[in-house]
Amino acid sequence: MKMGRLENRVAIVTGAGQGIGRAIALGMAREGASIFIADINAANAATVKQEITAQGGRAGALCSDISEEQSVRAMVDVALKEFQRIDILVNNAGMFPTSPVEEMQEEEWDRVIGTNLVGTFLCSKAVVPHLLAQRSGRIISLTSGRAFQGAKNGAHYAASKAGIIGFSKSLALELAPHGITVNVLCPGITDTSQPRGHQTEEQIYSQGQRIPLGRIGQPEDLVGPTIFLASDAARFITGQTILANGGGIMW
């Protein structure tokens, strides 16, 4: 029987209870990885765990708030207790409330930066010592086309996502001598609860028509690129930002 591309590896996927994170967790499990699902919604995390185990995969789950260092440490400790190692970190969890800058409260700014950017830092910081001990590993962080284009009524979101790119390049430089790669995956508008919470069906369809490939992304469109970046095939790729957006932004 053909082995999966991620056989015998353990991946933590944050924000894996729904949307892109869920699709990535399920896809990596199909490739043989053991998956640790971290999500702020315990019920969603448990549901995805059940989906993976029902398909014969191995999975653990924990309710985690990636903006809190203590919660992140607990996430890593529980993952290690369950699977004894960590090979891959997928920083996917994030949030996108909307406010124009002149009305934005500092608390909202801090909450978005704290989840999207600080959360990526905290999760990476917690996992890196274990990757260093193995002298191998992959860190893949999800950002957004808003990092390049800006976001009307979402300055905090765009700033956090641009920050992830700069952080990841810096971390890639630090970890490259140890055989650890760090890359960024950048989707465009994707059919998840986030755009559907702010836009009408007509607005979403209109955006899809402006994308060269003629539609908005689906969560499953991010699975292949993530698996590639996590696999041995991408061992010579680090510090890169991969745009998976149907040609909506060409870099």
Confidence at residue 180, expressed as pLDDT on a 0 to 100 scale: 99
Task: List, in sequence order, every residue forming a beta bridge with 183; answer none if it has no partner.
Answer: 140
C-beta of residue 37 within 8 angstroms of C-beta of residue 65: no
Contact 44, 121 (CB under 8 A): no
Tokens at residue 191, please? 């059919």
**Phi-psi category of 2—alpha, beta or left, where left has phi over 0 and alpha has psi -120 to 50?**
beta
| Secondary structure, 3-state, the chain | CCCCCCCCCEEEEECCCCHHHHHHHHHHHHCCCEEEEEECCHHHHHHHHHHHHHCCCCEEEEECCCCCHHHHHHHHHHHHHHHCCCCEEEECCCCCCCCCHHHCCHHHHHHHHHHHHHHHHHHHHHHHHHHHHHCCEEEEEECCCHHHHCCCCCHHHHHHHHHHHHHHHHHHHHHHHHCEEEEEEEECCECCHHHHCCCCHHHHHHHHHHCCCCCCECHHHHHHHHHHHHCHHHCCCCCCEEEECCCCCCC
Q: Rounded to whole angstroms, how far apart are CA atoms 95 and 126?
A: 21
Distance CA 1, CA 114 (A): 44
Q: What is the pTM of this model?
A: 0.95
Query: What do you get for the CA distance between the two ends of the chain, in Å?
Result: 39
Residue among 193, 116, 119 at smallest CA distance from 154: 116
Q: Per residue of the chain (251 residues), give pLDDT as tens.
A: 357 999 999 999 999 999 999 999 999 999 999 999 999 999 999 999 999 999 999 999 999 999 999 999 999 999 999 999 999 999 999 999 999 999 999 999 999 999 999 999 999 999 999 999 999 999 999 999 999 999 999 999 999 999 999 999 999 999 999 999 999 999 999 988 777 767 788 887 788 899 999 999 999 999 999 999 999 999 999 999 999 999 999 98
Active site residues: 157
In this structure, CATH architecture of domain 10-244 = 3-Layer(aba) Sandwich (3.40)
Confidence at residue 1, expressed as pLDDT on a 0 to 100 scale:
39
pLDDT recorded at residue 148: 96
The pLDDT assigned to 203 comes to 82
What's the pLDDT at 251? 80
Rounded Cα–Cα distance for residues 214 and 178 (Å)? 41
